Structure 1
Amino acid sequence: MNRPIPVGARRPGPRRSKPEGGAGPLVALGAFALIPALGLFALFSWAEGAVDESEPAPPPPSTLVAPPPPPLALSTSMLSLRRLPTVLSRELNISDFERAVVPFLATLNDRSCAVVSVDGILIGSRNPDLAVIPASNQKLIVAAAALDVLGAETRLTTLVSTELAPVDGVVNGDLFLVGGGDPLLSSDWYPTSNLDRYAVLSPTSLDTLADAVSDAGVTQISGGVVGDGSRYDDEFFAPGWGLGVAGLEAGPYDALMANDSRVLNDDQRAGDPNEGAAREFTRMLQERGITVTGGASSGVATPEANVLASIESASVIEIVGEMLMNSDNNTAELLMKEIGLIGEGTGSREAGARVMMAKLGEWGIETSNIVLSDGSGLSLDNRLTCAAVLAVLQRHDPSSALGQALPIAGQTGTLRDIFSDHAVAGRLRGKTGTLNNPPFNVDPPAVKALSGYLPVDGGTAVEYTLMLNGPTISDQSEYRPIWNGLVEALDTYPSGATPAQLGPR
């Protein structure tokens, strides 16, 4: 991890010393370059001697193919600073960038924080170690921990099982729908239902799973369909959420959850996500001509169950992408519990928080002021510092899995309609965060946050985090001028030549 250095500090340039006699650097380089040539000559000599002279020579080719033209050689010397364009660009532009960033930071209130860096080198900060409410910037911590603990390519599996194998198409007893923590399990109607602001990007088809049961030859279930979410605990809502959040912004959720706990033609979310998923799956089986004698319920599958069918989720990196792009709260909460299960063996919010906190410490991030109360950032009990968020961003970059999962200004996700007419449109990547605070004159404060990257042509990048806390800061008339001031300052870098312009010629 790149560690920030003080504002205005410079990385030392290459030292030049006077020659003191003996072979100069060019002679040494020339001698070094001869080593591969001598090796090739020796290999050629050995190969020539190894040919069996009793074998006839191969016939000449019928047509002669001209060799490809040699690539154009770069005229830039190996010792030129053009071989380090990002460093050179930083050295030329960093002072001007400081002059743009530092005055903006001074305008922030005492309850907010911000930090800006370039390639991990600190440019300026305001209250970097102040513990503030992060809102959905909390999801950046969940994303980094999920990629580390779970693995980017891991997939989550939903199972259908029975206590006994079907006989002549008949399941004697209950059929179990067993959740594997997949937050994107969806009926085919759900992604286009407009029930949520952002459609599911990488759904796991519950219809395909129902088809697999039918394809297995099942025609009748003498019992009912039981939803099993026992992979995680039974906490369906995180504590610390404000009024009007539970059941609307997030939850109820469990290791088995379909359509964010919705059932077709039911205006209300299911009170128990396991029972809701079982009810939705029962409907699907009946549509496929399978008779279900009993009703839908929640319960726990027999440990030695007979597996009839299964389906895998998208990869963890795609699930993380869904969480960051759409600021998906249920996905964040389930990922936090999965982190706890893999890291500690317990699928709970508390276990997930401990594993994530340990990861921050492992990454060298100060955690004494940090509180991880939930995964979504909806809890008013969460506390993060801008220094911690920026350190997580500095462990990645815009081209990394985490960087690529962030919304793009004016184009995608929660930034689709933000900065669309600004020069940073199509370039700036960032995670938004919002918490309102009725009544506005009572703590805790409202929140508006934005953290991410502004890539620069040629490979370098600006890393930034801004977490605003204040009584009415979530009002657009209050936060948008501050956001605009931030991107205006960020977009001044580089004021001169970019790394792409300074690269080898």
Structure 2
Amino acid sequence: MGRGDSRRGGGHESRSGRLAWRPSGDSGRAAPAEMESEQPDRSRRWRNQGHGCRRTRRSRVASGGGRRHPPRSRNPIQSGAPRTRGSFLPGVRSRQDHGIPRSSGRALRRPRRRTVDPTRQAGPGRHRTCRRRPLECRGRRCPLERPLLLPVGRSGRSITRSGAPERTMALATRPTAGDRTVGMSIRFGGILAVVALLATTVIVAAPSRAEESGFATAAAPETPLLSARRFPTSLQAASADPAFAGILDPYLAKVTGTTCALVMDAGRIVYARDEGDSLAPASVQKLLTAAVALEVLGPTTRLATIMAAEKEADNGVIEGDLFLVGGGDPLLTTAGYRTSLENPAQFSEDFTAVADALAAAGVKKVNGGIVGDDSRYEDTRWLPGWPTRYQIGGTVGPLSALIVNDGQTGFTQSPNVANPNRKAGDPTLLFAETFKTVLASKGIDVAGPSRTGTAPEDSVRIATFESVTVAEIVDEMLSDSDNTTAELLTREIGFVSSGEGTTSAGLAAIVDTASRLGLPVDNLKMADGSGLDTENRMSCTLALALITASPKGSTIAESLPLAGKTGTLRKRMLAAASTGRVRAKTGTLNTANALAGFADTPSGNQLTFAFIHNGSDSRGPVVADGFADRLMGFAAGAKLSTLGPISPSK
């Protein structure tokens, strides 16, 4: 038997599986028809696809569960022709009822109205009606249907005037699908819903004005979890890193000598060039001295200059000598010497404050002399690796625990008058002589001469002058690259760590502390604390580690010079791309130039970088400045702030 619908004459069942009706007379009223015993060769199969209802006419006849009509007349003119159903014109009556002239052809059929109780819900074990399979599905398998949605509070399936089920919000029974496309869309609906759930986030938005007024508003979609905007740095890096290398590589390839460079953006290396090579860092080495000084000495520690005598002052008079015991304060200066500083804004301490401390103790007269005591540190004034020109040019002063005006002569008699004719002298003696002059200006008479010596162990402290904090001393050292300050801090580190105020003890303590702090010191070589010795060696990896260990806002970061504005960079990078955007420690020798610090790019990135150049390039510091200028080219184009997640609209 074919599975298609027979279009030949024969009996006809109702779609609901109930009895068919035939007319009796002209009144149009129907009476039950008797079931025929013979069946045609072709039969219909009726199927409700939502509930699997499938019965053939033959099987129903065999079971006695169905009835059929007698053969229907092909001629509607024939009297007693049955009232037929029409599939296109709802509610049509027979032609004879309308008085329409009879003509040949098949009778128009009246559509059978179906009344469904809206409160009736089909259960899982039964169906309300056995629907006929769609014409396009006959002879082949139709796609499965899925439940549609009905209005909340309504049960069953609502049939509209057009015969289409309403798609609203509550689950309904399975309707009959008409085409394969709808079935496939519903089938993949669940998969698409899962993907959408993974790719979106639940937004809890603050109540908007509309919500406050009682109107419900849909929350604006936020950036999906799997969006590239969740990783703006990586999104930017995809194009920025190769382009950045295309800027720096050609520039460094033209530099005479050896270079190393390392640049990071938010902890990610964006450029590296021989970063592990050990090169002479020049004054960039002060970064390591500063970090260890803050660690070992403490940022709030103050260095004390002690004034002592063999016995207490009697009525303001000190019998015997007054001993000045140095504590390593490197910043004491007189007014005359400050005028000679290269940077007028360089920080220093007023030397007269020491005399004020003695006067505040009630001392009016010293019957002895002034004795300078610098025994806290070793008496080596210059390190053997330094060339003589450092002494002559004032690159670094003679080292002493008791020092004023960087150990320069010319201010002992007139401390407040500028003197261009100065040179390095005995720093301890110069301190004592200058102090005597200042005491005289305060009305304190000193009877004896000035000299150097050592205070007795049982001496009595008369007064004390305390320096600024170690953090402020570090600030001055880094901002103006003060070599004398760096070397004296190195010796103080040695004194505190091992009780020996020597450069060698200080260097050993610096390396040991750096290793303990987890800094990469494998290729580190230190000959001094300032970086003046050309035998010093440091890698860009270590220099950058020192920067990253001191984030913005820290003592070291805030002490770094600002390009074109402050410190050793106040006359460099002027009217350049890096002006006001780079904070870095400088390092400059005849054969070495270096920079290490922070760079704020126009794209919104905050880079940390280290650059060291060793060689005889005639451009000198301009090589390092050019490197800093090219850092501004990182991620040119879209700003980092525009690549991040989009905030929900309010």
Q: TM-score range by the shorter chain?
A: 0.7 to 0.9
Please state how far the C-alpha of 1:461 moved relative to its aligned partner: 1.9
Please state how far the C-alpha of 1:161 moved relative to its aligned partner: 1.7
Aligned partners of 1:411 and 1:417 also within 8 Å: yes
Partner of 1:41: none
Please state how far the C-alpha of 1:131 moved relative to its aligned partner: 2.1
Q: Does 1:249 align with 2:395?
A: yes
Letter in 1 for 2:381: F
Letter in 1 for 2:370: V
Q: Give the alignment partner of residue 164 of structure 1, picking from 305, 308, 311.
A: 311
360 and 292 in structure 1: CA distance in 2 versus 1, 3 angstrom threshold: same
The alignment partner of 1:450 has SS state of: strand
**Pairing 1:151-190 to 2, within 5 Å after superposition:** 151-190=298-337
Specify the structure having the higher radius of gyration (Cα): 2
Aligned partners of 2:563 and 2:581 also within 8 Å: yes
Please state how far the C-alpha of 1:372 moved relative to its aligned partner: 0.6
Partner of 1:227: 372
18 and 241 in structure 1: CA distance in 2 versus 1, 3 angstrom threshold: farther
286 and 76 in structure 1: CA distance in 2 versus 1, 3 angstrom threshold: farther
Partner of 1:136: 283
Distance in 2 of aligned mates of 1:26 and 1:432: 48
In structure 2, list runs of 5 or more residues that go unmatched: 1-190, 206-218
Aligned partners of 2:293 and 2:489 also within 8 Å: yes
Q: Give the alignment partner of residue 416 of structure 1, picking from 570, 590, 600.
A: 570
Distance in 2 of aligned mates of 1:365 and 1:176: 42
Q: Which moved further from structure 2: 344-353 or 201-210?
A: 201-210
Please state how far the C-alpha of 1:243 moved relative to its aligned partner: 3.2
Partner of 2:15: none
Please state how far the C-alpha of 1:369 moved relative to its aligned partner: 2.9
Q: Give the alignment partner of residue 146 of structure 1, picking from 293, 310, 314.
A: 293
Please state how far the C-alpha of 1:27 moved relative to its aligned partner: 10
Partner of 1:455: 600
Q: Show CA shifts across 1:215-260 (max 9, x none).
A: 3222221211111222211121122012311252112121111111
Distance in 2 of aligned mates of 1:108 and 1:270: 37
Please state how far the C-alpha of 1:200 moved relative to its aligned partner: 6.5
State the superposition RMSD in angstroms: 3.2
Partner of 1:279: 433
245 and 93 in structure 1: CA distance in 2 versus 1, 3 angstrom threshold: same
Aligned partners of 1:270 and 1:276 also within 8 Å: no
Distance in 1 of aligned mates of 2:641 and 2:329: 42
Letter in 1 for 2:515: G
Partner of 1:11: none
223 and 468 in structure 1: CA distance in 2 versus 1, 3 angstrom threshold: same
Partner of 2:633: 492
Distance in 2 of aligned mates of 1:135 and 1:257: 24
Aligned partners of 1:115 and 1:466 also within 8 Å: yes
Aligned partners of 1:365 and 1:391 also within 8 Å: yes
Aligned partners of 1:207 and 1:284 also within 8 Å: yes
Distance in 2 of aligned mates of 1:145 and 1:499: 35
Aligned partners of 2:240 and 2:636 also within 8 Å: yes
Equivalent residue pairs, number: 432
Partner of 1:58: none
**Between structures 1 and 2, the one with greater helix share:** 1
Distance in 1 of aligned mates of 2:280 and 2:389: 18
Distance in 2 of aligned mates of 1:488 and 1:288: 52
Please state how far the C-alpha of 1:74 moved relative to its aligned partner: 11
Distance in 2 of aligned mates of 1:139 and 1:20: 58
The alignment partner of 1:429 has SS state of: strand
The alignment partner of 1:286 has SS state of: helix
Partner of 1:215: 360
Aligned partners of 2:404 and 2:430 also within 8 Å: yes
Q: Show CA shifts across 1:276-308 (max 9, x none).
A: 111111111112222211111122223333222
**Pairing 1:391-402 to 2, within 5 Å after superposition:** 391-402=545-556
Distance in 2 of aligned mates of 1:110 and 1:74: 57
Partner of 2:473: 319
The alignment partner of 1:276 has SS state of: helix
Q: Give the alignment partner of residue 543 of structure 2, picking from 384, 389, 406.
A: 389
Q: Which one has more relative contact order, counting CA pairs under 8 Å at least 6 apart?
A: 1
* TM-score of the pair, normalised by structure 1: 0.77
Distance in 2 of aligned mates of 1:484 and 1:204: 32
Letter in 1 for 2:261: A
Q: Show CA shifts across 1:391-416 (max 9, x none).
A: 21222234332121111111111111
189 and 122 in structure 1: CA distance in 2 versus 1, 3 angstrom threshold: same
